[in-house]
Chain A
């Protein structure tokens, strides 16, 4: 232990290589994974939108550093030059800790990036794992500035047609504890997003897919959007690729 402190990272590398020499898990191996779960083009009324959802983690069996990013970007805006390219993005950084055989809990921070509107920072606590019947579930409670709160529920399922052809239904819902009038977000259920993606795993790591995505806003949020002249419901055809390494 002393050596590790004195010599820093090279010593840690040395410790890890000793582990391989010992053929036993005295120092369990740390592993990392980057999953680009969605990198897709959505054909919407406003034009072509690129959307992404990325997860990455690094760590051991019990503790992991977790990073997530998702967002949308307008690829081919109409002639209006003022149209911002990025519609919105969010990044999360969390410490993930194994809670039970199938569940991890997470403690972290989130930042929402918005082109015009103010960015929002949140603290988050989440539960992530595999529910019975193989539903992948992600639940997060975000607590932000000015008493803002956001509860987000996500679920996903993998339906295998063959060993390589997989249909993935997904559902996401957001609830807010308090109105955020600067961003046009109401109280209560704000939006639901549902997707259905059919992917073909060329290898496990490389899987192009096609699908449909549907988003709908509810309550005051929908009113805000309507008043601003926006659409509160949008369905789109998507095509993209899922990658991990």
Chain B
């Protein structure tokens, strides 16, 4: 009752591990499986640096027991580049960035980078649902992701720019 064998699919790979009841998903990912993209920040479910996707939705992995996620599909920021548009124009897959990651880089949407994986994962869900959000909508949707360095201006620029890139990926190529 205090230890559990669980199976997670993380970024497409099946992972079997044994966790304590109290093990949080973020610790199972970081300490058990070496996915260090999700960070640990506030520990009270407010800052969003631990955001991953569970079964396709952005969740705070510090507010979830690993055993609750048993059988689930987890995507961390490490797995995002393998999704739509990540490898466009890249020779080495290790250099691949998802368009949202590239936009944070190009728009300087980070300073220390600690909050960035969470920002990117939340933005990924938001842009999936709403490919053309207003700046106000972007700000509201990132309410659960806190940055303590830059303020949010360049973060919003990055998400807006990523939305443009993703829309262009989806646009018809005009027969070329």
Whether chain B is bound by chain A comes out as no
